[in-house]
């Protein structure tokens, strides 16, 4: 009998020791959600104050979902390059058996010592002031309809700058702490404010000759471009095909879901303000 009690006590001791040494695994095995204080996350720059960031989730049995401002990652261990200067917040969502847990980690970027995609500079410039975009004053028609997936500018419904919703409005893209987008009225007051992102791998081809038609996709959140709706619609348009983007010119197009080639697409023609 004495040996029996000793055996039971030994078993209980081992169970307690196991559960106390790894509370994270214990909580997950019970189908619960891990408390954020138990997450084992390592987020750091590869150089002092640099813009290349390593994100590591060392938490056992917890899946990863990182939001680092310019994109998302589901890797347990990932390295990204951010184009921003200043304090950045990286949001981690842990995937547990019983649900999700969220935690934030902050980093301070003091220098851009790893190259970033040139599109960041095309959109937002290289200074804290950002980059201002206006309707293109060098063309007669800055907004209108044309053949989707086939044309590069409007040639059906033609709308001049003076005929747009906001002829003297302007837009500013900047990278002060994140990818910021602000649309202003002519008098300088803020019309809408949000964020922007782009995907230069999201391209489309002209089915007539299989040539590349668009060079990427621009997505705005919380705001739209000037006259930010399809021609004939009042619904806000937040996603655009990028047809041209360089230091001086930005041409965008969008169409209703399912629009076929040569059906109606809406075009926006902008130019960087010097």
Q: Tell me the CATH number at 37.
A: 2.60.40.10
Asked if residue 95 belongs to a domain, the reply is yes
Residues 129 and 223 in one domain: yes
Give the C-alpha separation, 61 to 44, whole Å. Answer: 22
Final residue of a structural domain among 44, 79, 109:
109
Final residue of a structural domain among 51, 78, 109:
109
Asked if residue 4 belongs to a domain, the reply is no
Asked if residue 16 belongs to a domain, the reply is no
The per-residue pLDDT for 31 is: 54
In this model, does residue 13 exceed pLDDT 90? no
In this model, does residue 197 exceed pLDDT 50? yes
Residues 93 and 132 in one domain: no
Stretch 239-257: mean pLDDT, rounded?
98
The per-residue pLDDT for 178 is: 85
Stretch 129-147: mean pLDDT, rounded?
97
Read off the pTM.
Answer: 0.73
Asked if residue 14 belongs to a domain, the reply is no
Q: Tell me the CATH number at 191.
A: 2.40.128
Phi and psi at residue 122, to the nearest 5°: -55, -45
Residues 151 and 207 in one domain: yes
Residues 160 and 260 in one domain: yes
pLDDT over 70, % of the chain? 88
Residues 73 and 143 in one domain: no
Residues 166 and 205 in one domain: yes
Return the C-alpha torsion angle 188, 193, 197, 203, nearest 10.
-70
Q: How many CA atoms lie within 13 A of 52 on its CB side?
A: 6
Residues 238 and 122 in one domain: yes
In this model, does residue 97 exceed pLDDT 80? yes
Residue 219 is part of which domain span? 118-272
For residue 98, give Cα distances in angstroms to 35, 138, 149: 12, 58, 45
Residues 32 and 159 in one domain: no
The per-residue pLDDT for 225 is: 98
The per-residue pLDDT for 25 is: 41
Stretch 129-142: mean pLDDT, rounded?
96
Residues 88 and 165 in one domain: no
Domain count across the chain: 2
Asked if residue 167 belongs to a domain, the reply is yes
Pairwise pLDDT comparison (221 vs 11), residue with the higher score:
221
Asked if residue 3 belongs to a domain, the reply is no
Residues 127 and 147 in one domain: yes
Final residue of a structural domain among 109, 131, 155:
109
As a residue count, the chain comes to 274
Distance of CA 227 to the CA centre of its chain: 22
In this model, does residue 15 exceed pLDDT 50? no
Residues 168 and 210 in one domain: yes
Asked if residue 154 belongs to a domain, the reply is yes
DSSP of 3-57, one letter per residue?
A: HHHHHHHHHHHHHHHHHHH-HHHHHHHTT----GGG--EEEEESSTT-SEEEEEE
Read off the pLDDT of residues 21-64 as tens digits, 9 standing for 90 and up. Answer: 344 444 444 457 778 888 999 999 999 999 999 999 999 989 99
Asked if residue 161 belongs to a domain, the reply is yes
Residues 172 and 246 in one domain: yes
């Amino acid at each position: 009998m004495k040996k029996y009690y000793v055996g039971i006590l030994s078993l209980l001791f081992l169970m307690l020791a196991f559960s106390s040494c790894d509370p994270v695994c214990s909580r997950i095995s019970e189908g619960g959600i891990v408390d954020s204080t138990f997450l084992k996350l390592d987020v750091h720059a590869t150089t002092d104050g640099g813009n290349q960031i390593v994100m590591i989730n060392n938490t056992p049995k917890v899946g990863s979902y990182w939001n680092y401002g310019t994109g998302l990652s589901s890797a347990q261990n990932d390295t990204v390059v951010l184009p921003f200067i200043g304090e950045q917040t990286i949001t981690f969502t842990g995937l547990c058996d019983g649900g999700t847990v969220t935690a934030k980690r902050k980093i301070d970027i003091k220098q851009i010592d790893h190259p970033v995609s040139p599109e960041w500079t095309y959109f937002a410039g290289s200074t804290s002031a950002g980059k201002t975009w206006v309707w293109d004053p060098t063309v007669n028609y800055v907004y209108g309809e044309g053949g989707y997936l086939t044309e590069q500018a409007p040639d059906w419904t033609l709308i001049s700058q003076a005929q747009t919703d906001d002829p003297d409005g302007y837009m500013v893209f900047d990278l002060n702490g994140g990818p910021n987008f602000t649309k202003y009225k002519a008098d300088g007051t803020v019309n809408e404010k949000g964020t922007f992102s782009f995907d230069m791998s999201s391209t489309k081809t002209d089915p007539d000759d299989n040539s590349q038609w668009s060079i990427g996709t621009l997505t705005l959140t919380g705001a739209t471009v000037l006259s930010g709706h399809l021609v004939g619609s009042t619904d806000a348009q937040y996603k655009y095909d990028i047809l041209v983007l360089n230091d001086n010119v930005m041409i965008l197009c969008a169409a209703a879901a399912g629009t076929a080639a040569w059906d109606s697409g809406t075009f926006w023609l902008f130019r960087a303000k010097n």
